[in-house]
């Protein structure tokens, strides 16, 4: 089995962007998820309000923020390539009594994958939910955030 190495280091061990110029552009997609766990009373209050706060619709705002984050991932993560985003969908719904599940599904046709874009979209959407709800409690917990799956490139991982 070949030894795994970090890809964002050059031959001298210095940070470097991966050169993808020799790769073929193919269809790529990734699905990431992040959870937002509320104290029980806060979750009940949010359900009663229809997930609306004084700042507006929590889910709608989080979807917009997550989508914006996907498109700007390369500005936030130093070695991410700017990618043409062909599709981005965020889904937010209750997962149990006090937890919101945020899924971010991203697609592109390019020489590199969109895992970081999906993870960034899911986590920024979660941060937006926190921001909109923090007046109710600072005991809101974000995470875990994780890659659920990716398709395209050298190997497929998980389910997209």
Q: Where are the domains of the chain?
A: 26-150
Per-residue model confidence (pLDDT) at position 2? 63
Q: What is the rounded distance in angstroms from the CA atom of residue 77 to the CA atom of residue 84? A: 16
Inter-axis angle of helices 58-71 and 115-133, to 10 degrees? 150
Compute how many other C-beta atoms are within 10 angstroms of the C-beta atom of residue 98: 19
Fold category of 26-150 in CATH: Alpha-Beta Plaits (3.30.70)
> Which residues are identified as catalytic?
131
- Higher pLDDT pick, 1 / 32: 32
Reported pTM: 0.93
Cα 15 to Cα 9, 11, 25, 59: the distances in Å are 5, 10, 24, 37
pLDDT in tens, 99-131: 999 999 999 999 999 999 999 999 999 999 999
pLDDT in tens, 81-96: 999 999 999 999 999 9
């Amino acid at each position: 089995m070949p030894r795994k190495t970090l890809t964002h280091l050059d031959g001298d061990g210095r940070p470097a962007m991966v050169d993808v110029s020799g790769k073929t552009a193919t269809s790529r997609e990734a699905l990431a998820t992040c959870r937002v766990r509320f104290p029980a009373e806060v979750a009940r209050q949010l359900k009663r309000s229809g997930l609306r706060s004084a700042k507006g619709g929590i889910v709608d705002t989080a979807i917009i923020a997550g989508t914006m984050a996907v498109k700007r991932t390369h500005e936030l993560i130093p070695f991410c390539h700017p990618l043409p985003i062909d599709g981005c969908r965020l889904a937010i719904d209750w997962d149990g009594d006090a937890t919101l599940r945020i899924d971010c599904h991203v697609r592109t046709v390019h020489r590199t994958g969109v895992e970081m874009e999906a993870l960034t979209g899911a986590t920024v959407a979660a941060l937006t939910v926190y921001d909109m709800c923090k007046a109710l409690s600072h005991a809101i917990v974000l995470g875990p955030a994780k890659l659920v799956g990716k398709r395209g490139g050298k190997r497929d991982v998980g389910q997209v």
